[in-house]
Amino acid sequence: MAATGKPMPQDELLTTGATAQAAGQHASVRQTTVQQTTIQQTTQATGQQADTTGDGNDLRAKKRQAIGLAPERPTAKSNPQRPPDESHARGQRAAGRDNAARPWWLTLLMTGLIAATTLLIVAKMMGAPTAWPVIVHNITTWPERMAARFNGASPSATVTPDGYRVAVDSQFTRGDNGLVQMSVPGQYEIGPQPDQGLYRMKLGANQLAWSSPGLTCLAPHRLEAEAVVASETADGYAGVVGRLNDGRNFYLFAVDGQGRYQVQLQRDGLWSTLRPWTS
């Protein structure tokens, strides 16, 4: 602005001062408007983020705006940091101590008990013997019965004149013939008598017992057997069990001490006579 030595009239000074003052007020109003516009734009730009927080964050943003600051600090994190959940950590540590304190053999024992219980239930439903002596005997004689099953079919590969092949031929002169050899006090005593060349089945009153060589023969076959009923139990009988499914389903061909025979069927534990005693 150029300066001159000519003095300025008083009215011009007043006008200039008023103009300068007016210009200053206009500038002040403009500056305030710009500042309010900036605050409004900032609020609109950050409004969506402020709405996603809780009521506490909204109140904090309003307080910051009231003093001319942005609603959020530029360095503020969207998710506040919190201390770890000690209760959850303690629960995990306690579970780890419990697993470490439990011995491995306890888990193995529980698994064995569950398996044994399941087998006993299935055996009971199928009618298989569940008495401990019978189970032990079946386990200990399993190799012999399997040997008789696979090796007993061809002791001499004898073929009879009617075309049958000998599967099992035993005179009971040895103890390892693949048949059951066991006893239950008060019920039965079963086993070979090698010195007498016989297989004895001694039973108590109202007892029924049988023995199987463990052979599965689905083809037609013929069986020849000799049985002797002791004279002191002339009312007893011996026989052959056929088509044995389980202890409650089979056929029984029996011969008594008087030389008579009969054929019976047991189905689901109930007896029915197919052929009465016949001389």
pLDDT digits (tens, 9 = 90+) for 244-265: 777 778 888 988 878 888 999 9
CA distance 208 to 178: 20
Distance CA 181, CA 145 (A): 12
pLDDT at residue 25, rounded to an integer? 43
Percent of the chain past pLDDT 70, that is, above it, reads 49
* Distance in angstroms (rounded) separating the CA atoms of residues 164 and 166: 7
| DSSP conformational letter for 129 | -
Q: Crossing angle, helix 142-151 and helix 132-140, to 10 degrees?
A: 50
Mind giving me the DSSP string for 196-244?
Answer: TTEEEEEE-TT------------S-----------GGGTT-EEEEEEEE
Instruction: Give CA torsion, residues 198, 201, 202, 205, to 10 deg.
Output: -150
Euclidean distance between the first and final Cα of the chain, in Å?
156
SS3 category, 267? strand
For residues 53-72, give the mean pLDDT: 74
Global model pTM greater than 0.75: no
Q: Is 123 exposed, middle or buried (0-12, 13-18, 19+ CB in 10 A)?
A: middle
Rounded alpha-carbon distances, angstroms, from residue 72 to 37, 44, 47, 59, 69:
18, 12, 10, 11, 8
Task: Retrieve residue 166's tokens.
Answer: 């000998």
Strand partners, 132: none
**Which of 55-69, 103-117, 131-145 has the largest mean confidence?**
103-117
**pLDDT tens column, 133-165:** 666 666 776 666 666 555 544 444 555 666 677
Q: Is 148 exposed, middle or buried (0-12, 13-18, 19+ CB in 10 A)?
A: buried
Note the Cα 27 to chain centre separation in Å.
84
The segment with the largest mean pLDDT, out of 7-16, 32-41, 236-245, is 236-245
The yes-or-no verdict on residue 54 having pLDDT over 60 is: no
